[in-house]
Structure 1
Amino acid sequence: MSFFRQTSRKLLKMVWNDCSQCHRMCTLSEAAQSIKIRNIHEGESGILANSLALEGCRAKTTDLKMFHKLDPSGYYMSLTDSGEVIGTIGGIRYSDSFGYIGFRHVDEEKKEQGYEQGLLNVALEHLKDRWLGIEVKPDEIETFQKLGFITAWHNGCFKTEKTPFFPELGQNPSIHSIPEGPLGRVVEYDTDIFGVDRRRFIMSWTKTEKKGTSLLVTENDKIMGYGVVRPLQETKCHRIGPLYALNTAVAQVLILALISVIPDEALYITAPLTNPSFIRLLTNDLRLEQINETVRMYTKKDHEIPTHKMFVIVDTNVG
C-alpha cells in the first residue's frame, strides 16, 4: 500500500541494517540523536511485558515467548546510546495478507523525542502491503487516522479482585476441555470469527496446564464457542481471552465455567463494548469494574469481523 511507503519517508530520515548486530539505526531528531532499534530475540521476550502497563496484568514470560514465535523477526526494542531499553513494539505477520501491531510501549519522557515514531516506522515497514490491525488509546485515534487506520470498535478492560465460584457448572455436558490432540475444528472456528488463520497461536494458547482453563461448548457435535483463561505474571491473577461464542447465552456459560476454576483470584478481561448484554453480565452480575478503554483500528473498512460473536479478546496493549 502506498501510504505505508509515504509514512516511512515522513517518519524515518535514515534507516540501515547492521547484519552482524541484527539491528537498525534510526536518526529522527536532534533530541533523540542516534536511536538504536534492533530485533528482540526470543530470550529477551520478557521485555515485552513492559507494554502491558496496567498494574497486575503483565503476561508471563512463557506467554510472551509464545507471541514472539508467531513472527520472530517482527519484534523490536529501542535503546539509548548507553544501552537503556526505552521502548518496544511488535509487528506480527499473521499471514501474507494480515498483520497486527502490538506490544507498543515507550517511556513517557521519550515519546516526544522520536523514539515512538522510530519503533512504529520499523513495524510498518515489516508489515508493508498487509491489511493491519492495532489497539490504541482513545486520544491516539486522530494520529492513527492520519496513517490510514479506521476505527472499528471500542474495548473495555474489566477487573475484579476476587472471582466467584460456580461448582454446579462442572456437570454441564455441553462444556468440554479442549483436547491436547488435533485442534483443527477449534482453529477453524477461531478463523471464521477472527478472519485470519491463527493456527500456531491457537494450538499453543489453548494448551493450558490446569484442567478446565481451556474450554469449548458444543451442541450436536457443533462448536458453539470456546474460551481460555491463563495465569498472569502476578500471583493469583489471571486473564480470560479469547472468548468467542455464537451468542451471549453461550458466552455466559463459558465465562462462568472458566472463572469457577480460579475462585477468589484477580481477573482481567478485555471485551468489545459492542455487546451490551455481555457487558452487563460482567459489571452487574460478576461485579467486574471497567478500568480502561482502548480502540481497535484497521487499515480498511470492510474487515467483516463479527464482533457480536467476539466477547473477549487477547489484548497485547492494555494501558
Structure 2
Amino acid sequence: MSKENYQIRPMNKEEVELAVNWAADEGWNPGINDAHSYYLADPTGFLIGLVDDEPVAVISAIKYNKEFGFIGFYIVKPQFRGKGYGFALWQAAMTYLNGCNVGLDGVVDQQSNYRKSGFELAYRNVRYEGAFSSALEMEDTQPSTLVSPAFNLQQIQDYEQPFFPAQRNRFNEQWRMQSNAHALAISTEDKIQGYGVIRACKNGYKIGPLYADTVQCAKSLVVSLIAKVATHDEVAKVYLDVPECNPQAVALAESLGMSVVFETARMYTKEAPKLPLERTFGVASFEIG
C-alpha cells in the first residue's frame, strides 16, 4: 500500500449510493432506495478509501450515540484486495467508533478475523427466500386483528424503540417512507402489536424490520406485506432476515415454504444488547443493524 497516494475520508451523500452499488455487485442485494436512509443514520459514518482519487474501498461506521455503533459495507474493489487498503479503512472506522459497543453482521467464516478486533459472536441471522403470489392463505391469523398502513407516528416510534440499542427515529421514518416501500402496523383495540416494512431490492423484495408480539401477528404482517408487492399474474421473490435464536421466527419462515440462502454472524465488541429477540421476526438491515 502506498500511503502517499491513499486517502481516507467521509463519503458525501452521492458516494453512499456507490457503496450500495458495490454491495449489489457482491450479491448482498440491498434495497434500491436504501442509500438516503443509510446516510440519515449518520452522515459522517460512511468512509471511503481512494488511491489517486479512485475509490478502492468503502465501509460504514454508524455512530448512533456515544455508546453504540455498527459496522457494515466493508468492501474493497477486487483488484485492490490484499494490499492493506481495506485494513487501513477498517482501522479508521473502528477509531471513529472508539468507546462504543460495536455490532456487525459478518460473513460466518470470517469470525476469527473479527475476533482479532474484539468482536464476539452473539447469534446468527439467517436469510430466507421465498417466491409468492398474492394468494397466500391467512390461516392462524387473528380475524380481529387490523393490519393498516395508517398509524400514529409517536406510537410507532415508541413501539420500535426497544428493538434497537439506540434511538434512530430519522432513519426509521425515512426507511418506511422510501419509494417502492410499504409499511404496515398491526393493532387490536388501538394497541400496536406489530410492525413491518417491505421494500424493493436489486432482486425482489425484503421484509424488514418485522416486529410482532406473537407469531400470529407476525404472519398477518408477512401475508399483508407480500400482498402489497405480489399479484396472481406475477410471482414476487421475497427475503426475510431472521434471528436464528428466535425459533418462532424460523418456524414462520419455514411454514411459508421459504428456504435458507445466506447467514451472518451477529457480533459485538462488548456484551450483546438486551433486545426482545423473541419478538424480532425480521432484521431491518445487515448493513447498519
TM-score, length basis structure 2: 0.87
1:232 to 2:204 alignment: no
Matching of residues 1-319 of structure 1 within 5 Å: 29=1, 34-49=5-20, 50-53=22-25, 55=27, 57-60=29-32, 62-81=33-52, 83-166=53-136, 173-179=145-151, 183-208=153-178, 213-234=182-203, 237-263=204-230, 264-283=235-254, 285-317=255-287
- CA distance in 1 between partners of 2:146 and 2:260 (Å): 30
Task: Measure how far apart 1:121 and its partner are.
Answer: 1.2
Tell me the SS of whatever aligns to 1:58.
Answer: coil
The change in CA–CA distance for 1:167 and 1:274 in structure 2 (over 3 A counts) is: closer
- CA distance in 2 between partners of 1:259 and 1:233 (Å): 17
- CA distance in 2 between partners of 1:79 and 1:200 (Å): 29
After superposing the two structures, state which structure 1 stretch, 156-165 or 134-143, moved more. Answer: 156-165
Task: Measure how far apart 1:167 and its partner are.
Answer: 8.1
Task: Measure how far apart 1:233 and its partner are.
Answer: 3.4
Task: Measure how far apart 1:114 and its partner are.
Answer: 0.8
Based on CA coordinates, which of the two structures has the bigger radius of gyration? 1
Task: Measure how far apart 1:68 and its partner are.
Answer: 0.8
The change in CA–CA distance for 1:42 and 1:274 in structure 2 (over 3 A counts) is: same
Task: Measure how far apart 1:251 and its partner are.
Answer: 1.2
- CA distance in 1 between partners of 2:115 and 2:267 (Å): 9
**Contact 2:211–2:282 (CA under 8 A) maintained in structure 1:** yes
**Contact 1:230–1:239 (CA under 8 A) maintained in structure 2:** yes
* AA aligned opposite 1:215: L
Task: Measure how far apart 1:302 and its partner are.
Answer: 4.7
Higher RCO (C-alpha under 8 Å, 6+ residues apart): 2
The change in CA–CA distance for 1:292 and 1:194 in structure 2 (over 3 A counts) is: same
Q: CA-atom RMSD, angstroms?
A: 2.5
Task: Measure how far apart 1:272 and its partner are.
Answer: 0.9
- CA distance in 2 between partners of 1:161 and 1:167 (Å): 14
Tell me the SS of whatever aligns to 1:206.
Answer: helix
Task: Measure how far apart 1:289 and its partner are.
Answer: 2.1
The change in CA–CA distance for 1:99 and 1:187 in structure 2 (over 3 A counts) is: same
* AA aligned opposite 1:240: I
Task: Measure how far apart 1:74 and its partner are.
Answer: 1.2
- CA distance in 2 between partners of 1:64 and 1:201 (Å): 11
Aligned residues, how many?
A: 280
Task: Measure how far apart 1:56 and its partner are.
Answer: 7.6
- CA distance in 2 between partners of 1:208 and 1:72 (Å): 17
Task: Measure how far apart 1:48 and its partner are.
Answer: 1.5
Task: Measure how far apart 1:255 and its partner are.
Answer: 0.9
Tell me the SS of whatever aligns to 2:81.
Answer: helix
Structure 2: gaps spanning 5 or more residues? none
- CA deviations 1:51-89 (Å, max 9, x no partner) are 2455482322x32122112211111112223x4322211
Task: Measure how far apart 1:103 and its partner are.
Answer: 1.5
After superposing the two structures, state which structure 1 stretch, 100-109 or 289-298, moved more. Answer: 100-109
Tell me the SS of whatever aligns to 1:112.
Answer: coil
